Amino acid sequence: MNFGIAGISPQYKSRVKIASEIGYKFVEIGLAGIYLCDEPEIKEFGGFLNELNMPCLSTNGMFPGDIKLIGPEADRSKIEDYLYSAFDKIIPLQAKICVFGSGNARRIPENYSADQAYDEFAALISDTIAPIIEKYGKVLAIEPLNYSECNIVNTVAESMRVVKAVNKPSVKTLIDFYHVRYNRENIEDFTEYKGYIEHVHIASYNNNRRYPRPYDGEDYGKFFDILRKAEYKNQNISIEASLADEGDICFKNSAMSAYSMLKNL
C-alpha cells in the first residue's frame, strides 16, 4: 500500500517535508479550505510539493457547510459556481481524486424523506457534480460518514447505493476505517465492491481518531487483507487523523510510528 497524509495545507510545509522523509508518498488537502487561499499561494505550494515529489493526490472537505446540497435550500447554480471556481483554483495542485464527505453540506433537513434525499443526492451528482468532475479529469469518491456526523450515506453499502444509482465511471466509493469501525460495519462485505473503491482513509477508532499505532487494539492487517481481496487497485491510503497537539514533534512521532507499522502489513 502507498500511504499519504490528509489534513495538509500551505501552512504545514514542515509536515510535508517530514512526511516525505519518513516515506509517505502523497498528501490530501481540504478543498473548501484551500479555496480560501489566494491563487499565488496555491501555485507556490504546488511547486513546493513538486520539488519534494509529494503530489497532492486527493482533496477532501469538498463543500463548505453553508452550501446546502439536499432539500429546499439546495441551489444547483451556487453549487456549480463554487465547484468551477474551486477546481480552477487548485489546478496547480493536480489532484486526481475528489473525496465527497462534507457532512454539514449534505445533511438532510429534519423530517425529510430518506428516499427522496437519496434520489436528490444521486441526481445532484449525476446531473451537476459528475460532469464538472469529468471536465477537470477527476474521480469522485463518495465518503460514508459515521452516524454522529451526518444523517445520510453513513455506510459503505449506502455509498454504493448512490454510486450504482449514478452509474458513471467517474463516481466511486471511499472506505474510511474510522467510520467503518464507528458504525460497526462488517468489513467482509467490502469484497463485493471490486472495481468501485477509489480511495481509503484510516485512523484509530480505539484511540479517538488519532494516528494508527502498535497495540492500539485495531486489526489493520485484516482490513488491508479485505482491501486486497476487493482488488483495491489504487492501493493509496490517507491517514486522516488527529494529533495530541499541533507541534511538528508530535506529528513526526505519530506519523513515523504509523508508517513503520502499516508499511509491513
Please choose, from the candidates 42, 49, 9, 51, the residue with its C-alpha nearest in 3D space to the C-alpha of residue 26: 49
Residue 1 has pLDDT above 90, yes or no: yes
Residue 246 has pLDDT above 90, yes or no: no
pLDDT digit string, tens, across residues 184-220: 999 999 999 999 999 999 999 999 999 999 999 999 9
Q: Which residue has the cell 466509493?
A: 173
Residue 163 has pLDDT above 90, yes or no: yes
Domain that holds residue 195: 2-262
- Mean pLDDT for all residues in the chain: 97
Q: What CATH number should be reported for the domain holding residue 215?
A: 3.20.20.150
pLDDT digit string, tens, across residues 118-129: 999 999 999 999
Contact 236, 2 (CB under 8 A): yes
Above pLDDT 90, what percent of the chain?
A: 100
Query: In this predicted structure, what is the pLDDT of residue 136?
Result: 98
Residue 79 has pLDDT above 90, yes or no: yes
pTM tops 0.85, yes or no = yes
Average pLDDT, stretch 51-63?
A: 98
Indicate the pLDDT class of residue 7, thresholds 50, 70 and 90: very high
Query: In this predicted structure, what is the pLDDT of residue 24?
Result: 98
Number of domains present in the structure of the chain: 1
User: Three-class SS string for the chain?
Assistant: CEEEEEEECHHHHHHHHHHHHHCCCEEEEEHHHHCCCCHHHHHHHHHHHHHHCCCEEEEECCCCCCCCCCCCCCCHHHHHHHHHHHHHHCHHHCCCEEEECCHHHHCCCCCCCHHHHHHHHHHHHHHHHHHHHHHCCCEEEECCCCCCCCCCCCCHHHHHHHHHHHCCCCEEEEEEHHHHHHCCCCHHHHHHHCCCEEEEEECECCCCCECCCCCCCCCHHHHHHHHHHCCCCCCEEEECCECCCCCHHHHHHHHHHHHHHHCCC
pLDDT digit string, tens, across residues 83-118: 999 999 999 999 999 999 999 999 999 999 999 999
Above pLDDT 70, what percent of the chain?
A: 100
**Distant-in-sequence contacts of 107-115, Cβ < 8 A, 24+ apart:** 107/70, 107/150, 107/151, 107/152, 108/70, 108/71, 108/151, 108/152, 109/70, 109/71, 109/72, 109/73, 112/70, 112/71, 114/152
156-166 vs 114-124: helix crossing angle, rounded to 10: 50
What residues form DSSP beta bridges with 6?
28
Average pLDDT, stretch 8-25?
A: 97
pLDDT digit string, tens, across residues 37-46: 999 999 999 9
